[in-house]
Amino acid sequence: METDFTDKDTYQDLFDPEGYLDTYYNPKSGLLVVDGFLDFVLRKLHDAFCRRGVKGKTLIDIGHGPTIYQDLSACESFDEIIGADYTDVNRKYYERSLRNEPGTFNWDAVIQKVCDMEGKGMSVEEKKKKLENTVKKTLKCDVLQKNPLEPLVLPKVDCVMSIGCLECACSDLDTYRNVLKNVSTLLKIGGYIIISEILNCSSYLSGGKRFSCLVLTEEFMRSAIAETGFEIVDLEVIYRKYDKDQYEICNHDSSLFVLARKVKDVK
Ligand code: SAH
């Protein structure tokens, strides 16, 4: 299942938010629901923000795509969240989901799960309001640029999070290391980076189109994160059962979550 590198313009031209959400997050058949990724990431995000105390003024969610689940725990620990993604339709879909517009993907069961983990008795409706009020905007961004938010220059933030994006954006491992440096420029020293990726994946199907994925391993991620000026605070990998039909859609064998602290700038 090899495919040529699908660059950011392929995302811009061909990415279908609804097809992606149904294939990967449908509550019954979604590939990332069935393989345990979604529950894993929700648990790790809750752990980072609510138990380990990662908090601050601003968090940037890079490569959010059409999903909002990743911001549900963060909105309890940050005054504001700023979204960032290259693809116009995904930024629009993200905004429409935050406003809870009719016809957008239904995250209610996921929101309920996060409220249950938090144990504060917050209702799904209250959580949606909290999220909508915390995510202030979403910006065009290209992680391949030195300043991913160019031409904007934002004050450095307390946390940068990127879930399932950087391995889509990069054609090779050197580029991935550079992209870590690029996103690090948005972050204060002492601030946190949160990255979650699927591992050993070469391509995935979304909305009838096959997209390339950079093959990442745990060893590479550990060294790339350390080499680009971060100190790992928490790193966990979960494995996935083999299933021929599911692997034909997306062929990762495991998923990784990492929380790391920026200790220095690396040129
Ligand atoms: N966060 C989503 C993943 C979205 S799919 C989830 O958890 O399911 C990957 C996303 O990466 C897409 O929205 C795509 O627009 C974005 N992307 C790809 N190349 C990029 C680049 N160079 N800069 C910023 N975002 C990019």
Q: In angstroms, rounded to a whole number, what is the distance separating the alpha carbons of residues 238 and 159? A: 24
Please give the structure tokens belonging to residue 96: 């429409």
pLDDT, one tens digit per residue, over 92-125 is 999 999 999 999 999 999 999 999 999 999 999 9
Ligand 1, atom nearest to 87 Cα = 15
Domain residue limits, the chain: 8-262
Beta carbon of 85 within 6 Å of any ligand 1 atom: yes
Q: What does the pLDDT read at residue 3?
A: 86
**Mean pLDDT across the chain:** 97
pLDDT bracket for residue 256 (50, 70, 90): very high
Q: How far is the CA of 142 from the centre of ligand 1 (A)?
A: 9
Q: How far is the CA of 90 from the centre of ligand 1 (A)?
A: 8
Q: In angstroms, rounded to a whole number, what is the distance separating the alpha carbons of residues 170 and 46? A: 28
Beta carbon of 156 within 6 Å of any ligand 1 atom: no
Which H or E run includes 223? Answer: helix 218-227
Q: What does the pLDDT read at residue 17?
A: 98
Which H or E run includes 129? Answer: helix 124-134
Taking alpha carbons only, the member of 231, 221, 224, 227 closest to residue 257 is 221
Taking alpha carbons only, the member of 214, 168, 197 closest to residue 15 is 168
Between helix 124-134 and helix 108-118 the angle, nearest 10°, is 90
Mean pLDDT of 52-62: 97
Output the DSSP codes for 61-120. EET-TT--GGGTTGGGTEEEEEEEES-HHHHHHHHHHHTT-TTS---HHHHHHHHHHHTS
Which residue has the CA at smallest separation from atom 4 of ligand 1?
65
Is the distance from CB of 28 to CB of 99 less than 8 angstroms?
no
Q: In angstroms, rounded to a whole number, what is the distance separating the alpha carbons of residues 17 and 21? A: 6
Fold type of domain 8-262:
Rossmann fold (3.40.50)
Q: What percent of the chain has pLDDT over 90?
A: 99
Is the distance from CB of 147 to CB of 181 less than 8 angstroms?
no
Taking alpha carbons only, the member of 194, 236, 252 closest to residue 31 is 252
2: pLDDT strictly greater than 80:
no
pLDDT bracket for residue 10 (50, 70, 90): very high
Q: What does the pLDDT read at residue 1?
A: 66
Which H or E run includes 254? Answer: strand 254-262
pLDDT, one tens digit per residue, over 77-92 is 999 999 999 999 999 9
Mean pLDDT of 19-34: 97
Taking alpha carbons only, the member of 101, 234, 260, 248 closest to residue 180 is 260
Beta carbon of 183 within 6 Å of any ligand 1 atom: no
Please give the structure tokens belonging to residue 222: 């550990």
DSSP β-bridge partners for residue 152: none
Give this prediction's pTM: 0.98
pLDDT, one tens digit per residue, over 186-218 is 999 999 999 999 999 999 999 999 999 999 999
Phi-psi region of 104 (alpha: psi -120 to 50; beta: other; left: phi over 0): beta
Please give the structure tokens belonging to residue 116: 């249950």
Beta carbon of 143 within 6 Å of any ligand 1 atom: yes
Tell me if residue 191 falls in helix, strand or coil: strand
Whether the upstream peptide bond of residue 151 has omega within 30° of 0, thus cis, is yes
Q: In angstroms, rounded to a whole number, what is the distance separating the alpha carbons of residues 63 and 46? A: 19
Mutation test residue for ligand 1: of 85, 160, 161, the one with most atoms within 8 Å of CB: 85
Q: How far is the CA of 165 from the centre of ligand 1 (A)?
A: 4
Tell me if residue 189 falls in helix, strand or coil: strand
